[in-house]
Amino acid sequence: MGTWLTFSTCFVLSLSLSVDCKHMRDLSPLNKLPKVDVYAKGLKDRIPPISNADTKVRPIIYMHGIFGKADEKNFACQYIPSVVPGAVVYALDMFNGAESALNLDYQLEYIMPAMQKIMDNHTDTGVTLLCYSQGGVICRGVVQMLSTHNVHTFITLSSPLDGQYGVTSYMSPFIPNKDRRYLWEFWYSGVGQEISIGDYWNDPHHQEAFSDPKTDVLIARLNNQTGHPNSAEYKKNFLKLEKLVMIGGPDDTVITPWQSAQLGFYNQNETVLPFEKQPWYSSDEFGLRTLNEANKVVRHTVAGVNHIYWYRNQKVFDCCVLPYIS
């Protein structure tokens, strides 16, 4: 580390939204939102050129979780550069708080161009995505949907990468019923699909509705389970990754099952199966099998970590994040 350039920077890209969760998109039509180049304009001029040879660390883009708050941004902007000299960290200050509950495809319309602006400044090194909770689902969307991405390493912190099938306090503002057996009708409805959780609600007992292209659940589409026309492109984009690091643990209490953080999930008997036993793995639907067989996939399981502490737990950072960003 002594030979590293002792330069650390954090850039925050902002997008101001006014959202009433009761009406979701109706109060935030696209024509009322600033264009991406308004808040990313001049990005190349503001960022000093940093080469991988100088810093030995790729620029990091941090994506917060649902209802993300300032402490997440502080972790990304203050802690990472303090322990990784030379780290350039970008914390996306977009879709914060209640705004993070908007439909994820809608969020991706703005997040993907914002990330592309950052990537365009680092064509020589590529970037690392470090994404927490729901942010991991968003970043998975970026990796698979953005054909021009240059993500080298994708790190997820307890993200429902293969969906969620459990009721938590995060859902209480939205759901009419707290028994998960009956929630599929809500989350797979037009109203439910306007809320971000609906984009990764995966009911193992209603897989036909989950994978119905008319419902268009984001996780099902990213798994290439819906027969959508961009499936080959999604797989090609995913295979551009050089390293996928998935971090989770049994004491999370929010992600259900917790193994979804490592692309595992329930079967119809609610037995949790690892990703190697998932129906989309053997056929290599989105490229995970190819990546795994090339030794580019890493799973870290850490016990004793509650969901809200993954991004600020010293043990998690030291063992499971730091080796892949430095």
Residues annotated as catalytic (active site), given as ranges? 133, 252, 307
| Closest to 205 (Cα-Cα) out of 260, 295, 290, 268 | 268
For residue 136, what are its two tokens?
């991991």
The string of DSSP letters for 138-152 reads HHHHHHHH-TT--EE
Q: Which residues partner with 65 through β-bridges?
A: none
- Give burial (CB, 10 Å; 0-12/13-18/19+) of 113: middle
**Alpha-carbon span 72 to 307, nearest angstrom:** 13
- Give burial (CB, 10 Å; 0-12/13-18/19+) of 264: buried
Q: Are 132 and 154 in contact (CB under 8 A)?
A: no
